[in-house]
Structure 1
Amino acid sequence: MIKPNTEFELCVTQMMTSEELQILTLLYQPIIGSVAVSLYMTLNTLASKSSPSLFSHHLLLQVLNVGVEDLLALRYKLEAVGLIQVYVTEEDHHLTYYLKKPMQAKAFFNDGIINVFLNLKVGNHDYQQLKQLFVQELPHIQGQNISKPFNEVFDTTVLMRSSATLQASPLPTVADNQKGVKLELAFDQELLFALLKQFGMDDQILSDKLLDQINKIAFLYKLDEHELARLIFDALDTDGFVNLEVFRKQAKQYFQFLNKGKPIEVVEMPKTKQEAPLMDETQAALSKEKQLLVHLSQNPIDFLRFKYHQKEPVPADRQLVEWLMVDQQMAPGVVNVLIDYVLNISDGRLPKQLVEKIAGEWQRKEINTTEKAMVQVKTMLKAKQKREIEKTMPAAAKVYPKTARVVRQEQVPDWLKANAQRVEEKKSLTDDDLQKIERMKQLQSQLLNQKG
């Protein structure tokens, strides 16, 4: 996370030449925009005016008159086209911006990615005009070329004698010094090689340079490993080598066939929000929960396409989703959670009876929000897991809870209850009370005898 007071260090090897400034203005600017070019020029100017080059982001915000999120978005564009590399240390989170020079015009137009994006941005007519400004084609000269080759003028044995010295002290190479747009691998290389072997091809025919071009084409035309293998096989020449031009042409035709002639569209990724600071596990879990809620709140048909790897759902599944939303009035997030749960437990299928059963149960339980649906699914999964564990346990190992012993009480008539109560009261009299009662009985007997 960067803040206005966050400092960064600038690192640049050489200042731009006038030719490179022209390339930046006419070739890079249509792709990344004028404000991103201004950021790059500002960083270059600061690097040339100060040593050591240590600045705060507040200066950039003031010079460019943008906010922190916009500044990050501009920096990401420069990173994407290879004009800047960002390094950060783990200990103190020290930032270093390493400025790279623009590609030479010939390398730019032969890149295979950035030149295609320029063509799509400005149109083919203006693209060809820009290309003519920088790439001068060799003039057509009549006659035979009689220029002497190198080995006819110089003695190659002299080079051979010094070859040991050349091998002992090679020129330094920097891995990050390669120019052009860097792409992550757009396909599974091991899978592609395995598919090529099924076609009887040796993966050794694919050099690193050829693989780089194939990767760019796979990125542009969204080709998977099976499509790539078929196109590579079809592009083999008579000598068994891959004709790159044929491969490019067939890949483009295949893409247009799948998309009914529609051209490639240049789509910028959504703006990346300001990077969050380091979070603890609880905060990270809450952040993932929010992202999951956003993902589950999309249109259920789109969610179903996502689960089916962008393939159109079959009519029966579409009707089932429409029934859940229209007839049952279930929220989109609840429908998506239900779909996801059923697909997981039913091997990627949506059995109608099971969906209707779960939907009815959720309606009775008033599960009407995405959060409630997620909690319900967790509860159902835990119950299912418990049942599976109990099935695998031996009978002797099962522990059943002890039930409280129930003592049966007989219904007693009221009169019996009263008699019993008197007996209990009699039992509760003391010895003195009994003696008094006995004396009263004797006295009463004497009185009766006197009367008699």
Structure 2
Amino acid sequence: MSMHWQELLPADQYRVSSAGMLHNYDRNVLTRLYQPLIGPICLSLYMSLWSELEENRIWAEPTTHYSLMNTMGLNLRDIYEARLQLEGIGLLSVYKKKNGETKEFVYELHPPLSPQQFFTDGMLNIYLFKKIGKGAYNRLKKFFSDDVLPVREYENVTKTFAEVFASDHSLYISDEAEGVKEPLVHQQFIDRQEGTLPTGFEHQFDFDLLMAGLKSSLVPRKALTPRIKTTIAKLAFLYDINPLEMQKLVLGAISIDDEIDEEHLRKSARDWYQIERHADMPSLVSRVQPVIYRTQMDPPRNQEEEHIQRLETVSPLQRLKQLSNGAEIVEADLKIVEDIMLNQNLNPGVVNVLIEYVMLKAEKKFTKNYVEKIAGHWTRMNVVTVKEAMELARKEHRKYQGWADGNKSSAKGSRQKATRTEMVPVWLNKTEEKKTEQKKAATVSDEQKKAIWEQVKKLNVGGDHADAKD
């Protein structure tokens, strides 16, 4: 059973709330800055939930997910997946309470980051730059900017509060005035809050390993402030920098005041990425198979289920490294994987199956045209789970082999190679073994049938002789 059915049912109710006032200007920010990163379905879900809030209110009436499915014209799995992305990017908080057989949810909408926060974030703005390109990115910066007025050329003649108003000291304050600044019981003031930045990076970075290689005489522990640690963790996530490499970047960012220069650290990380990865900017993709598309949630009972679970919990980059015996991945292979995840919109677990299938079949060669052809076929077949990808690869193995042979024959200067034993993934070999066993079983069955008919013939002949004697 898919995970979303365990988390969410159409009959489950939800209420929409807002962490603060949402303004019309937020729609521009969401549409132009967030939509390229999270896609139209996520934006549609946010807007649909927002529409349930009455004007100038921060709570909506309860309704069911079935109603939301009808409103958006989407199935529950797509809504759940979009909800997870809104949570991850900081636009939604979810609260759950069990109510008998069903569950109740509170969907708290967070306002998006302000344009200034977004463009100076150091993470979301980089993903946006990679997604839409330099030209479109600069146009967006211009759209969300305005000319700076030369205020300093003018004299500030603004009056202060004390210059304009006086306080009447004869004013009598009664007991009724106590608590005038507090809201009514069980209520809260409607306010505007800042947008929420993406979080959770600190738990994924090994700060103990980082600090073990940094001498306190070179990098004082006080220099690793909470803000700097957050920046280090975000940069490590953004550019895939391990703690050992990060040690060098941190050492290079120490100022004469024994503080870590945040901007210098950001620039060093970006330069490191461009040199090591031979790429300008990273792209925003799912690290591992989304939970709702995982089929192996229970403890595995055999090797195949164990392998499925492994492919569902490892990133394509890690799987590519594993199949390369831990060697550093070349830029061309990284670009191929990135393209099929973004352009073909394949889930990470499905990409893992594709990587494994191609790498083991083609003697560790990762040919762009061959990979993209299979990826395109899987996209058209709407393959979203690891198990579906395996089954389709088994089913279409001969077709894919034909595509590979076609690529070989069309290559320039190709020569006929000696016959070799084809390497295929274990799960594919298992299927071939099953087919062989079934074929053998069928052969045995035919032989048994033949033996039975021979016995029948002998019985018939014996019967004829008996009749003659009589």
Q: In which range does the TM-score fall when normalised by the shorter chain?
A: 0.5 to 0.7
1:222 to partner: Cα distance? 0.7
Aligned to 1:110: 120
Among 263, 271, 274, the alignment partner of 2:281 is: 263
Structure 1 residues 136 and 209 mapped into 2: Cα distance closer, same or farther (>3 Å)?
A: farther
Q: What does the per-residue CA deviation read over 1:96-123, in whole Å, with 9 as the maximum and x for residues that have no partner?
A: 2111111222222222211222222222
- How many matched pairs? 311
Larger Rg: 1
Listed as ranges, the gaps of 5+ residues in structure 2 are: 1-5, 164-180, 182-187, 330-358, 365-418, 435-470
Considering Cα pairs closer than 8 Å and 6+ residues apart, tell me whether 1 or 2 has the greater RCO: 2
- Calculate percent identity across the aligned residue pairs: 24
Aligned positions of 1:39-438 closer than 5 A: 39-48=45-54, 53-89=61-97, 93-136=103-146, 138-140=148-150, 179-185=196-202, 186-197=204-215, 200-268=218-286, 272=290, 274=292, 283-286=298-301, 290-293=305-308, 295=310, 305-306=321-322, 310-311=326-327, 331-333=424-426
Distance in 1 (CA, whole Å) between partners of 2:107 and 2:83 is 10
Q: What does the per-residue CA deviation read over 1:306-353, in whole Å, with 9 as the maximum and x for residues that have no partner?
A: 27774269xxxx99x969xx966675217999xxxxxxxxxxxxxxxx
Q: What does the per-residue CA deviation read over 1:258-286, in whole Å, with 9 as the maximum and x for residues that have no partner?
A: 1134532333457736478998xxx5445
Distance in 2 (CA, whole Å) between partners of 1:68 and 1:200 is 54
Distance in 2 (CA, whole Å) between partners of 1:194 and 1:245 is 24
Distance in 1 (CA, whole Å) between partners of 2:295 and 2:95 is 17
Letter of the aligned partner of 1:113 in structure 2?
A: M
Structure 1 residues 305 and 217 mapped into 2: Cα distance closer, same or farther (>3 Å)?
A: closer
Q: CA RMSD in A?
A: 4.7
Aligned to 1:24: 30
Q: Normalising by the residue count of structure 2, what TM-score does the alignment of the two structures yield? A: 0.55
Structure 1 residues 22 and 261 mapped into 2: Cα distance closer, same or farther (>3 Å)?
A: closer
Helix, strand or coil at the partner of 2:260: coil
Distance in 2 (CA, whole Å) between partners of 1:69 and 1:271 is 14
1:17 to partner: Cα distance? 1.1
Listed as ranges, the gaps of 5+ residues in structure 1 are: 154-168, 338-366, 370-452
Distance in 1 (CA, whole Å) between partners of 2:308 and 2:249 is 40
Any conservation in 2 of the 1:197–1:203 contact (CA below 8 Å)? no
Distance in 2 (CA, whole Å) between partners of 1:309 and 1:134 is 47
Helix, strand or coil at the partner of 1:311: coil
Structure 1 residues 240 and 272 mapped into 2: Cα distance closer, same or farther (>3 Å)?
A: closer
Structure 1 residues 35 and 330 mapped into 2: Cα distance closer, same or farther (>3 Å)?
A: closer
1:223 to partner: Cα distance? 0.7
1:292 to partner: Cα distance? 2.2
1:52 to partner: Cα distance? 5.6
Any conservation in 1 of the 2:253–2:261 contact (CA below 8 Å)? yes
Structure 1 residues 322 and 142 mapped into 2: Cα distance closer, same or farther (>3 Å)?
A: closer
Q: Normalising by the residue count of structure 1, what TM-score does the alignment of the two structures yield? A: 0.57
1:70 to partner: Cα distance? 1.4
Distance in 1 (CA, whole Å) between partners of 2:324 and 2:210 is 23
